[in-house]
């Protein structure tokens, strides 16, 4: 097969910045590609396929149920819509509008651009808490009374973006939401690896958790996971499926208890997030690979490659940060003055090279090898030596 990117006039890039969406996410394994190709050669009922996916996701995450979405952002929108509508088909039909409760609490330190995915459901985001820890003005994080003070009949859920810093506040949020009887939605899009995080948040009592499928999991870029309570996942599924069906002949997925519905819903807010059979099968294949992988061996191989790259950059300030410190994979931190200038220079090269700019403000470019192909190590070194 001819190179599709060459045909389109699109340059291939050396990605040492991590599994970023803007760079196409993960590089899929051959077995994932093969599974997607095989899935494309048949017709299946998507609801039945999502039922099967739910069982696999539940097994991997410890959740009651799961759903394949078209990315973690789509999972957040569906999670919010499920928290608002539950089994109410009239609310499903009205979203993103409607004169009914649809407030979702969100800590101020978690109000990022990604929160837009929650608001896309029609939810009204209500900021709570203080930003003392985030601004360095104090030591206090989220407290239970801040959640309790914001509760009202219009609040349907709380959203929480988990990372190494905010994790300490998660038990407080779980306890407060459970006492109030509202779901807690956790954005864990980039919290893999380690693989233990697949189960950690559900085990802590979270009601819904969103993961990216096209990053560390190694699935299709346009895939994600929503895992959690069966009733909420079922509501999310109903608002994603093609519902152009005759009520008399509709066979609902097993996740859906039709007795809870006063009618058959129309297309929901998530209709534009439909997951194809190829994405569902590809994601499940990637999930199985991820769960059974030997993280220690994989990280050891990555560390060996990074040490070789660092040796070639002798004379420059390069620090190897092991996976035990990053919590994900080992990385190289390269100290450079005017980090963004150097990064721009690398991206203008032939081939273009991308490093992570996450710490550019402190004069550091990060070499994240998560999706760096071994055959790119040598040209990456050459580009770095020229740019530095």
pLDDT at position 309 is 96
- For the CA atoms of 222, 346, 377, 295, the dihedral, rounded to the nearest 10 degrees, stands at -40
Scan for tokens 């004379």, then name that residue.
315
pLDDT at position 141 is 84
Cβ atoms < 10 Å from Cβ of 195: 16
pLDDT at position 1 is 62
Distance CA 388, CA 383 (A): 9
Fold that domain 43-291 belongs to in CATH: 3.40.640
Query: Are 65 and 227 contacting, i.e. CB atoms less than 8 angstroms apart?
Result: yes
pLDDT at position 134 is 73
Query: Are 108 and 130 contacting, i.e. CB atoms less than 8 angstroms apart?
Result: yes
Distance CA 9, CA 32 (A): 26
**Which stretches in the chain have pLDDT values below 50?**
none
| Residue 363 falls in which region: left (phi positive, over 0), alpha (psi -120 to 50) or beta | left
Beta partners for residue 107, in sequence order: 128
pLDDT digits (tens, 9 = 90+) for 237-283: 999 999 999 999 999 999 999 999 999 999 999 999 999 999 999 99
DSSP reduced 3-state for 280: helix
Fold that domain 4-24+294-387 belongs to in CATH: 3.90.1150
pLDDT digits (tens, 9 = 90+) for 347-370: 999 999 999 999 999 999 999 999
Q: Which part of the chain has CATH 3.90.1150.180?
A: 4-24+294-387
Distance CA 349, CA 358 (A): 20
Burial class (CB in 10 A: 0-12, 13-18, 19+), 23: middle
Report the mean per-residue pLDDT for the chain. 95
Residues 6+ apart with CB under 8 A from 225: 57, 61, 66, 67, 68, 69, 72, 75, 210, 211, 213, 217, 283, 287
Tell me the pTM.
0.93
Q: Is the dihedral of CA 377, 379, 385, 388 positive or negative?
A: negative
Closest CA to 194 of 56, 287, 291, 302: 291
Burial class (CB in 10 A: 0-12, 13-18, 19+), 262: exposed
Q: Residue 336 corresponds to which tokens in the numbers above? A: 């450079």
pLDDT at position 363 is 95
Strand bridging mode 224-228 / 65-69: antiparallel
Q: Which part of the chain has CATH 3.40.640.10?
A: 43-291
Q: Please, where are the H alpha helices in the chain? A: 4-8, 30-39, 46-61, 72-85, 89-94, 116-119, 132-135, 144-150, 170-180, 197-203, 230-238, 277-292, 295-312, 323-326, 339-347, 377-387
Closest CA to 148 of 101, 103, 206, 105: 105
pLDDT at position 83 is 98
What proportion of the chain, given as a percentage, has pLDDT over 90?
Answer: 90
Q: Residue 306 corresponds to which tokens in the numbers above? A: 């990074």
């Amino acid at each position: 097969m001819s190179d599709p990117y060459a045909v389109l006039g699109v340059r291939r890039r050396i990605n040492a910045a991590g599994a970023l969406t803007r760079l196409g996410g993960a590089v899929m394994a051959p077995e994932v590609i093969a599974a997607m190709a095989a899935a494309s050669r048949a017709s299946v009922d998507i609801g039945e396929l999502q039922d099967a996916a739910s069982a696999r996701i539940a097994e991997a995450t410890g959740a009651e149920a799961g759903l394949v979405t078209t990315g973690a952002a789509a999972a957040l929108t569906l999670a919010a819509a499920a928290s608002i509508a539950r089994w109410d088909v009239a609310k499903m039909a009205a979203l993103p509008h409607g004169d009914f409760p649809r407030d979702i609490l969100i800590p101020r330190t978690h109000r990022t651009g990604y929160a837009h995915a929650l608001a896309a459901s029609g939810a009204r985001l209500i900021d709570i808490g203080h930003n003392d820890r985030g601004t360095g003005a104090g030591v206090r994080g989220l407290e239970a009374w801040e959640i309790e003070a914001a509760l009202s009949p219009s609040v349907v859920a709380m959203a929480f973006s988990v990372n190494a810093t905010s994790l300490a506040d998660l038990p407080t949020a779980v306890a407060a939401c459970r006492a109030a009887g509202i779901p807690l939605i956790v954005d864990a899009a980039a919290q893999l690896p380690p693989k233990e995080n697949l189960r950690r948040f559900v085990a802590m009592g979270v009601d819904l958790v969103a993961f990216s499928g096209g990053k560390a999991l190694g699935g299709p870029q346009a895939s994600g996971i929503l895992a959690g309570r069966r009733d909420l996942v079922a509501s999310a599924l109903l608002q994603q499926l093609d519902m152009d069906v005759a009520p008399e002949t509709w066979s609902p997925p097993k996740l859906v208890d039709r007795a809870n519905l006063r009618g058959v819903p129309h297309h929901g807010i998530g209709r534009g997030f439909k997951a194809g059979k190829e994405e569902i099968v590809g994601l499940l294949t990637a999930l199985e690979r991820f769960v059974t992988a030997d993280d220690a061996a994989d990280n050891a191989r990555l560390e060996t490659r990074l040490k070789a790259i660092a040796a070639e950059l002798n004379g420059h300030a390069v620090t190897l940060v092991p996976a035990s410190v990053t919590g994900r994979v080992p990385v190289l931190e390269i100290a450079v003055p005017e980090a963004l200038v150097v990064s721009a220079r690398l991206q203008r090269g032939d081939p273009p090279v991308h490093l992570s700019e996450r710490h550019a403000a402190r004069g550091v470019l990060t070499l994240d090898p998560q999706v760096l192909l071994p055959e790119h190590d040598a040209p990456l070194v050459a580009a770095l030596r020229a740019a530095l």
